[in-house]
Structure 1
């Protein structure tokens, strides 16, 4: 459970704090309070902080306050609190309020008469209580998602006592945030870690806001680079609604998070608590497909897998690897020894349903080059594209190869 700005403003003793801008974002989760002592906050916060600006130790003119608002937005701060009174910052300039409203930064005014020790003690106590409750809720959800259930009735009773709405049927959404290696290469380890923390905070906040709009919200479960969201799925059209909402979320976030990228796998709809683990297994299979097939644009539902669902049911990985090696081994080996062109050629050929001209255009090569490569593939594998049985074997082996977690997904675009 996260403590939100709205929760803080409702705490006893803090009634004199007023939300002046960013009302639409008052459900932002607060990770911790931070009192800004320097002229800039960008290098001192990592996302999710409620930043207090006093003006006591550093002059805060209109220009500086505008800078802090912009940095709060860039660094995904939960909100900005400005203390006002007869000394230091006498009032918040209207331009600062307008900028905060435009950027979606919650801006709170706190009178100096409300002592900081009272505010920080109230927030700190509420944060500890919320974190304890949140950990209890997450642990219970993880037990259900992992299938670690000895007595379902006991877990459901405990869920009721923790305020978890588990009577609603759910669809599992599994998100993965990829690209930390690219961040390190581009910015170095220290700066990359700071950017990653801010990106994670932005994702957590956006995901929680989406869940709130869907109703019957359960906090997302964060596990490393994965987030698990339990989406309400009661009505027949809820699955399509959930998919559309999650896809719009990813499309909105990916440009902001670049070079990081989000991928999404969705289970089928309407699972009760007893089948959360099964639903998560479905979502994992769909996520692998979302990562492996660029044409899916990073999103896949379990009911869209087709033959991939059958491959996922084969538990012995060596059986799949042997099949790939038998069918595609010679051309994979050839690509490893020379410029890797045969496997991309094969992908393009199948993507364009055997149309050599379109496949050549897709790869940016001459049609004769495409024809030569396909003949070489037939020679190396002993298969024929004109034989339906051979085509089926090659297409299945290609599916397995693309789904392999040991290699990055290749795009034929």
Structure 2
């Protein structure tokens, strides 16, 4: 931008101040410096370049005695200070508006969502996937957000903190964004972190649904004691179905597993043995490796389970009943009080 294109009143009084300094040797006072800062802020708000602003300020000193340099230096410094402060404030406002938008989006507050989404370059008619990470520490969220925006652009990913979780919203057509989000969580979060990933859904309501699925996947993984860092809602669809009739599941768990409470050594080793056997597709040797016990110990425990409950994982029908009961026990926190 040429100097002549700057507003005529932007540096009003600047040349006169420099001339007075050249004549008297007095530096700009506080009022003058505040005026320069205000001019710098105004230039930033108008979208003028800092280079053009400084160039115009320097040009006003041409032809004046060399002693004007200290005043000119202070004037330019104050202009730059005001310019930078205005830019930082604009960035803060933008970040605040962005986070408020994500929060409204995740809560399903529909007020002006489409209009605000367009401002951030999002197309809400598309399908989106939400990933939620547990284990957030102060400062980690901002760094991960900056890394994701640097790679995918601010119009492709939204990152925010919601209910203690670091949440990433990305288009379903950009699966690499969720993978990159998980990579940064793995690199920055302390041990014990976990990421839940919702399914792809369309529109603003779909974002809310995907977020709830991601958060529920984390809860289910904790309840089931899953030894995985990334859990997908699509892989856990059966569990919400099980929980829809809580009374029936509680009755199943109590009927099938209550006899284990009488076992010497407690019910937990037997429950863990069943989980290991089911996770190993019935392979008792593999289950023994998971439990770090001998295969003979697994065989002994399964026999105890059969004698106490009357159910055996070797029988296909009984296996399904046992596995459902064990899953229900973990989900509902059995033994019930």
Short-chain TM bin: 0.5 to 0.7
1:250 pairs with 185, 204, 208, which one? Answer: 185
Question: What is aligned with 2:301?
Answer: 373
- RMSD of equivalent CA atoms: 3.8
Give the C-alpha shift of residue 270 in structure 1. 5.1
Alignment of 1:62-73 (within 5 A): none
Question: What is aligned with 1:401?
Answer: 329
- In the alignment, does 2:107 pair up with 1:177? no
Task: Pick the structure with greater CA Rg.
Answer: 2
Q: Deviations over 1:146-178 (max 9, x none)?
A: 2333x6xx3212433x43523453211111117
Report the TM-score, using the length of structure 2 for normalisation. Answer: 0.65
Q: Distance in 2 between matches of 1:205 and 1:270?
A: 27
User: Is this contact kept in 1: 2:284–2:299, CA < 8 A?
Assistant: yes
Question: What is aligned with 1:269?
Answer: 200
Give the C-alpha shift of residue 124 in structure 1. 5.3
Give the C-alpha shift of residue 318 in structure 1. 4.5
Unaligned regions of 5+ residues in structure 2, if any? Answer: 1-43, 53-72
Q: Distance in 1 between matches of 2:150 and 2:218?
A: 23
Question: What is aligned with 1:285?
Answer: 216
Q: Deviations over 1:191-234 (max 9, x none)?
A: xxxxx43xxx1343124312442342344120242011111223
Change (3 A) 1:323 1:211: farther
Alignment of 1:177-216 (within 5 A): 177=135, 196-197=137-138, 201-215=139-153, 216=155
Question: What is aligned with 1:144?
Answer: 105
Change (3 A) 1:305 1:214: farther
Give the C-alpha shift of residue 129 in structure 1. 4.0
Q: Distance in 1 between matches of 2:91 and 2:100?
A: 14
Give the C-alpha shift of residue 390 in structure 1. 1.7
Give the C-alpha shift of residue 244 in structure 1. 3.3
Comparing both structures, which one devotes a greater share of its residues to helix? 2
Question: What is aligned with 1:159?
Answer: 117
Question: What is aligned with 1:311?
Answer: 242
Q: Distance in 2 between matches of 1:278 and 1:318?
A: 25
The alignment covers a number of residue pairs equal to 268
Unaligned regions of 5+ residues in structure 1, if any? Answer: 1-6, 16-110, 179-195, 408-413
Change (3 A) 1:384 1:243: same
Q: Deviations over 1:294-336 (max 9, x none)?
A: 6663102222225235336x1x5454334323332332x3579
Question: What is aligned with 1:226?
Answer: 165
Give the C-alpha shift of residue 373 in structure 1. 1.1
- In the alignment, does 2:285 pair up with 1:354? no
User: Is this contact kept in 2: 1:384–1:390, CA < 8 A?
Assistant: yes
Question: What is aligned with 1:411?
Answer: none
User: Is this contact kept in 1: 2:259–2:308, CA < 8 A?
Assistant: yes
Give the C-alpha shift of residue 125 in structure 1. 4.8
